[in-house]
Amino acid sequence: MPSSNSFIIITMDGGAAVGKSSTSKGLAERLGLMHVDTGSHYRTLTCALLGSGTPAEQGETISKVLETLELSTQIDGRSAKLGINGMVPVDSDLRSPEVNAQVSKFAAIPELRQKLFAYQRSLADLARDQNYAGLVMEGRDIGSIIFPEAAYRFFLDADEATRAARRAKEGQTDSIAARDEMDRTRQAAPLVCPRGATQIDTAHHTLEEVIEKITHHIES
């Protein structure tokens, strides 16, 4: 186990519905960490841009609208949530069919990712200031771009049928295969298994087993 005064950073990457959120929240609870879901950051900016009537195709307008958006943070339990101009959108808005369908188009825009880069890195300082034992951050590019230097980097995966079944169980309308394809093939920070990350197939393990595996890996 890392010594009690060593702050740890865990990165958790993977495609849609592979179990990143449940695993990250469980680890945060077990190890006393702050949890950050960066997918919700992209969803929050997507909501704001759609709300301002700006489609993903209007590059120049997007840059202008992004300049007007001020990022802030609200802590909810162990999770740090992104606010835009002081407001944190509710989960039902972040996971609406329209946002599910549009978010990967917005997430492929370099200016939009640039807007989040320094903010996402700064959350490690926030977690330290708030006396958390560390930070667990989930997304698509956390171990590759945001915290490539992190000591503990994981990449979760599961077969497509398992993932589709999980999403259907949550009652969501979401084309996860299409979203993954867009995320994997974009130029800016594509979805990849970061070099040296530990890969875990979540289809054949319970959530508790995955959390146990990761905790064991960190402690050893």
Q: Report the interface residues with ligand CDP, using CB under 6 A.
A: 16-17, 38-40, 42-43, 103-104, 107, 139-142, 179, 183
CB of 212 to ligand CDP, least distance (A): 22
Nearer to ligand CDP, 115 or 140 (CB): 140
213/220 Cα distance (integer angstroms): 11
Nearer to ligand CDP, 142 or 218 (CB): 142
Nearer to ligand CDP, 187 or 220 (CB): 187
Per DSSP, the three-state class of 86 is coil
Nearest one of 122, 134, 124, 129 to 31, comparing CA atoms: 134
Nearer to ligand CDP, 6 or 94 (CB): 94
CB of 188 to ligand CDP, least distance (A): 8
99/92 Cα distance (integer angstroms): 10
Q: Which two tokens stand for residue 196?
A: 């040296």
Residues 193 and 13 sit within 8 Å (Cβ to Cβ): yes
Which residue's C-beta sits nearest to ligand CDP? Answer: 39
Per DSSP, the three-state class of 106 is helix
Residue carrying the six token digits 């077990």: 30
Nearer to ligand CDP, 141 or 218 (CB): 141
Nearest one of 12, 14, 17 to 160, comparing CA atoms: 17
CB of 18 to ligand CDP, least distance (A): 7
- How many angstroms separate the most distant Cα atoms in the chain? 50
Helices (H) and strands (E) in the chain, counts: 9, 7
CB of 153 to ligand CDP, least distance (A): 13
Residues 148 and 23 sit within 8 Å (Cβ to Cβ): no
Q: Are strands 134-139 and 33-37 parallel, antiparallel or unpaired?
A: parallel
CB of 213 to ligand CDP, least distance (A): 20
Nearer to ligand CDP, 96 or 183 (CB): 183
CB of 219 to ligand CDP, least distance (A): 26
